[in-house]
Amino acid sequence: MGKLKDRYIRFDWAIKRLLRDKANFAVLEGLLTVLFEDKTQIVEILESEGNQLAETDKFNRVDIKAKNSKGEIILVEVQNTREVYYLERILYGVAKTITEHISLGESYGNIKKVYSISIVYFDLGKGNDYLYHGQNRFIGVHTSDELQISTKQENAILPKYPREIFPEYYIIRVNEFDKVAKTPLEEWVNYLKTGEIEPDTKVPGLSEAREKLKYHSMAPAERYAYDEHLNAIMIQNDVLSTAKLEGLTEGRAEGREEALLSTARNLKAMGLSMEDISRATGLSKEDIVKL
């Protein structure tokens, strides 16, 4: 009989409740270091409209001011996405991160590079990988060369690629990971998916998570809230999957309408916003209010 593994708090809960604490920065720093393949240090968690603790908040994201091994300051936006319009949500989150953290009247030169990290716990679509990376590159339509922009920096004219300024995007499709974890990144994604951490891990962030994110270290009230969160995730996934199937299944108009109303009631009971319920079901906000 194998040794019983410790149970650890899932990342999607920890990032909203525990990892904003400076004492726990090492966990997030480990994820960024492994993902960027560069030693990354968190300077601070930035306050924004999105950094709310409410379970039903509109922007489930964390904005991080960090420093890389070159001493460059970067802004990192981590989205724990669970949204119908996921690409639009990612784009909106990046735009808010940029605009919220440059003061009115500041030079555009003060805009920092933004890295968007989306940790996706639902069926995102087609693709064979569990990690996707996107950059903005300006490529000649006829020549296929990459555009360089001349920019003035410290009284010198230097070439710069747009990808050095424009945001970069990482999408981690947690449910698509089905390998035996052998690399630091694979160990991290395995934890994101299962909540399991190897007892002898040396991976940045995960060794700290083993000490700080133990399920049985939570206070009883916090543990109860966490268990309810896991139940809500299962219900939400079931409801959204059911809604998708119902939308694809042909049947009488009355039956489809009742199925949509039932789905909308369930989503409303889970605390989703009227806007999200309307998007998922096609019902008007007036109809949702009446439920």
Structure-model confidence comparison of residues 120 and 30, the more confident one? 30
pLDDT band at 24 (very low <50, low <70, confident <90, very high): confident
List of residues 6+ apart from 118 with CB closer than 8 A = 79, 81, 86, 90, 169, 170, 171, 172
Mean pLDDT score, 33-39? 94
Mean pLDDT score, 178-196? 90
- Mutual orientation of helices 25-36 and 184-194 as an angle, nearest 10°? 130
Structure-model confidence comparison of residues 11 and 80, the more confident one? 11
- pLDDT tens per residue across span 205-260: 998 998 888 877 778 888 888 787 777 666 665 655 555 555 544 444 555 667 67
**The two three-digit tokens of residue 281, written as one number:** 């079901």
- Give the Cα-Cα-Cα angle 215, 221, 225 (nearest 5 degrees): 70
Backbone angles phi, psi at 265, to 5 degrees: -60, -45
- Mutual orientation of helices 253-269 and 220-248 as an angle, nearest 10°? 160
Reply yes or no on whether the pLDDT at 6 is more than 80.
no
- pLDDT tens per residue across span 91-108: 888 888 888 777 656 677
**The two three-digit tokens of residue 75, written as one number:** 């802004």
Mean pLDDT score, 188-215? 89
Position 153 scores a pLDDT of 60
Position 104 scores a pLDDT of 58
Q: How far apart are CA 78 and CA 50, in angstroms?
A: 11
Position 34 scores a pLDDT of 95
Q: Residue 40, Cα to own-chain centre: how many angstroms?
A: 18
pLDDT band at 22 (very low <50, low <70, confident <90, very high): confident
**Residue 15 φ/ψ region, left for φ over 0, alpha for ψ in the -120 to 50 degree band, beta for the rest:** alpha
Whose CA is closest to 77, among 116, 23, 31?
A: 116
Highest mean pLDDT among 20-34, 120-134, 214-228 belongs to 20-34
- Residue 287's CB is within 10 A of a number of other CB atoms, namely 16
Reply yes or no on whether the pLDDT at 180 is more than 70.
yes
Is-contact 267 277, C-beta < 8 A? yes
Percent of the residues in the chain that have a pLDDT greater than 70, as a whole number: 75
pLDDT band at 31 (very low <50, low <70, confident <90, very high): very high
Question: What does each C-alpha distance from 201 to 111, 185, 210, 213, 290 come to in angstroms?
Answer: 37, 12, 9, 15, 52
Q: How far apart are CA 269 and CA 231, in angstroms?
A: 13
Q: What is the mean pLDDT of the chain?
A: 78
**The two three-digit tokens of residue 226, written as one number:** 């966490």
Structure-model confidence comparison of residues 167 and 150, the more confident one? 167
Whose CA is closest to 130, among 41, 221, 192?
A: 192
**The two three-digit tokens of residue 184, written as one number:** 């630091």
pLDDT band at 84 (very low <50, low <70, confident <90, very high): low
Position 59 scores a pLDDT of 42
- Mutual orientation of helices 274-281 and 220-248 as an angle, nearest 10°? 30
- pLDDT tens per residue across span 130-156: 999 999 999 999 999 999 988 766 666
- pLDDT tens per residue across span 246-283: 554 444 455 566 767 777 787 777 667 777 777 667 77
* Beta strand segments in the chain, E: 41-46, 61-67, 73-79, 114-120, 131-134, 149-153, 156-160, 168-173
